[in-house]
Chain A
Amino acid sequence: MLSSAFSIANFWKLVRIALFYAAIIALWQLVYKLEIWSPYLFPSPKEVWDALQRNVENGRIWDAVNGSMHRLAIGFTLAFIIGMTIGVATGTMKWVDETLGTLVLGLQSLPSITWLPLAVLWFGLTEKAIVFVVLMGSIFAIAISAGDGVRNIPVLQRRAAQVFGASRWQTIRYVTLPGMLPSMAQGLKLGWSFSWRSLMAGELLFVSAGLGHLLQVGRDLNDMPLVLAVMAVIVAIGLAFDRLFFGQLDSWVGHRWGLRTG
């Protein structure tokens, strides 16, 4: 693994990626120099970089990242636990699927930010409200993919466990939970991205601390470099989760199940 990471092919891949981003920044600089828009609406890459550096140094970015991650962690963990429970129940029991399953399917079509007014009325302008929005953002996507994951397990795999005398709980633990992983890898990624989006939208609207809130601060101060710097941080965090965590999960599943080509 390690040796392949430093192979020639990989080297050229990295060069290509670096060139691509260098070209984008160069283009950005060029447009800035042309002064089509006033500099305070269209700052240079350097100004954005400085804003980022300044706000990292004075701790504002870290506080914001911390605040956002904290909410995300609580909301997403709750969504994972509840969503998995709902999914396993709808996947294993037909009558639950016919009742709760259809409700989940319906609620999934609600954009998560539409839960915000309800959350504010219930919880006020508090942490609870935003965590609730994050939770509602991802719970249905997780529940649906968990249900699919259970249904996609080949019948014979469950029957084989039954043959060895597995109890209901043993079957869930040793067959259902691991067997649903391929579908879950997709569902978790989707749920996470929904959570992340609804968190940002929610923070924009009211709560203190958090990246969304910092964006709003930038807007209020007409500080375009700060706005762009925070947007870059949001993109970076999204990308990091996608590649590092969910990418790893995906490739592990691909390896185990032999889904990877080649």
Chain B
Amino acid sequence: MAPSGVLGPILTLRNVSRRFVSSRQNTTAVQDVSLDIREGEFVCVVGPSGCGKSTLLNLIAGLDKPSSGQLVFDGNPIKGAGADRVVVFQDAALYPWLNVRANVEFGLRIKRVGGKERRRIADRYLEIVNLRQFERALVHELSGGMKQRVQLARALAVEPRMLLMDEPFAALDAQTRDALQAELQEIWQRTGATIFFITHNVREAALLSDRVLVMTPGPGRIKATIPVPLQRPRDPDTHAVVDFAAEIRRELQHDEYTSKAAESGYVI
């Protein structure tokens, strides 16, 4: 179960909308989303491609600004990006000119953490993601799963209040994904981080989250919120998780967007 709701919400969204206006068409990527996320909570957002889930993440990250509505993080309105809310991207966000260790230290360097302290912190997170023996490897020498571990370590190293993960495991093969999901569960329990996790894999959502937000496109809105009352640690192959995944999928398909959802390739 999630850490109890004794703590107030760390993130609050009130009537947040984001419209993209161009000469050809106007799209409402996010419409009227209101949401509270508790400290330490693991929230997954599922929905088909183009449902606005990445836009929502960018708004929370401060990489984008809402057309209307309010976003409040830790008591303050979100004005821009900051190391208290770090994003783990799907792909290609590591720096090829730096080795694994230097990539992990990147955020600390930006925060002007001294060399000695930086090395100590990097040691710790390299250990957590099991990359200690690859600290000198270059980015192009890493597998997809290792790259995502480096990104995770880089994000964790600055000890953000919230981790924003944008389909971080979508480009990985099934086995690697299983391994990383297990590691992420463990890391989440160890660090107590608040995680906002985007996926289009409903089983991933059932496995990882305390709460699943189901988003539908055109305009992008949160259609349903499903609490996940399963015991932790969870195993992806247990009936409980598989059944719950099916439930999320039913919720997703239970409307006019069924065909769209099928097109964008759902996986259980």
CB–CB B81/A165 < 8 A: yes
Q: Cβ of A154 < 8 Å from any Cβ of B?
A: yes
- How far does the Cβ of A24 sit from chain B's closest Cβ, in whole Å? 40
CB–CB B158/A164 < 8 A: yes
Against B, the Cβ 8 Å flags (1 = close, 0 = not) of A141-173 are 000000000000010110111111110001000
Partner of B110, one of A159, A166, A178, A181: A166
Against A, the Cβ 8 Å flags (1 = close, 0 = not) of B77-113 are 0000111011101011111111000000011011100
Q: A165-B81, A179-B95, A179-B97 are in contact. Are A160 and B89 (CB under 8 A)?
A: yes
Q: Cβ of A257 < 8 Å from any Cβ of B?
A: yes
Q: A164-B107, A164-B158, A256-B138 are in contact. Are A159 and B97 (CB under 8 A)?
A: no
- How far does the Cβ of B35 sit from chain A's closest Cβ, in whole Å? 20
Partner of A258, one of B63, B98, B138: B138
**Chain B residues, CB < 8 A from A258:** 96, 138-141
Cα separation A181 to B141 with both chains bound (whole Å): 19
- How far does the Cβ of B84 sit from chain A's closest Cβ, in whole Å? 8
Partner of A163, one of B86, B97, B111: B86
Q: Cβ of A204 < 8 Å from any Cβ of B?
A: no
**Chain B residues, CB < 8 A from A157:** 92-95
Partner of A159, one of B63, B98, B140: B63
**Chain A residues, CB < 8 A from B81:** 162-165
- How far does the Cβ of B179 sit from chain A's closest Cβ, in whole Å? 23
Cα separation A173 to B119 with both chains bound (whole Å): 20
Chain A residues 11 to 68 lying within 8 A of chain B, measured CB to CB, are: none
Q: Cβ of A78 < 8 Å from any Cβ of B?
A: no
Partner of B83, one of A164, A174, A257: A164
Partner of B87, one of A163, A170, A181, A257: A163
**Chain A residues, CB < 8 A from B63:** 159, 162-163
**Chain B residues, CB < 8 A from A159:** 63, 87, 89, 93
CB–CB A164/B110 < 8 A: yes
- How far does the Cβ of A150 sit from chain B's closest Cβ, in whole Å? 14
**Chain A residues, CB < 8 A from B13:** none
CB–CB A256/B86 < 8 A: no
**Chain A residues, CB < 8 A from B107:** 164
Cα separation A40 to B185 with both chains bound (whole Å): 84
CB–CB B109/A174 < 8 A: yes
- How far does the Cβ of B101 sit from chain A's closest Cβ, in whole Å? 14
User: Which residue of chain B has its CB nearest to the CB of A260?
Assistant: B140
**Chain A residues, CB < 8 A from B111:** 164-165
Cα separation A161 to B61 with both chains bound (whole Å): 12
Cα separation A258 to B63 with both chains bound (whole Å): 30
Cα separation A166 to B62 with both chains bound (whole Å): 13
Cα separation A170 to B109 with both chains bound (whole Å): 9
CB–CB B95/A178 < 8 A: yes
CB–CB B106/A174 < 8 A: yes
**Chain B residues, CB < 8 A from A257:** 96-97, 140
**Chain A residues, CB < 8 A from B89:** 156, 159-160
Cα separation A164 to B157 with both chains bound (whole Å): 11
**Chain B residues, CB < 8 A from A179:** 95, 97
**Chain A residues, CB < 8 A from B98:** 178
Cα separation A160 to B140 with both chains bound (whole Å): 18
User: Which residue of chain B has its CB nearest to the CB of A170?
Assistant: B110
Cα separation A256 to B139 with both chains bound (whole Å): 8
Using A159-B89, A162-B81, A178-B97 as known contacts, list a sample of 8 further A-B pairs with CB atoms less than 8 Å apart, ordered by residue number in A: A154-B92, A156-B93, A163-B81, A164-B110, A175-B95, A178-B98, A258-B140, A258-B141
What are 5 A-B pairs at a CB distance below 8 A?
Answer: A154-B92, A156-B89, A156-B92, A159-B93, A161-B110
Binding site for A on B (CB under 8 A): 61, 63, 81-83, 85-87, 89, 91-98, 106-107, 109-111, 138-141, 158
Q: List the 4 closest A-B pairs by CB distance, nearest first.
A: A258-B140, A164-B107, A156-B93, A160-B93
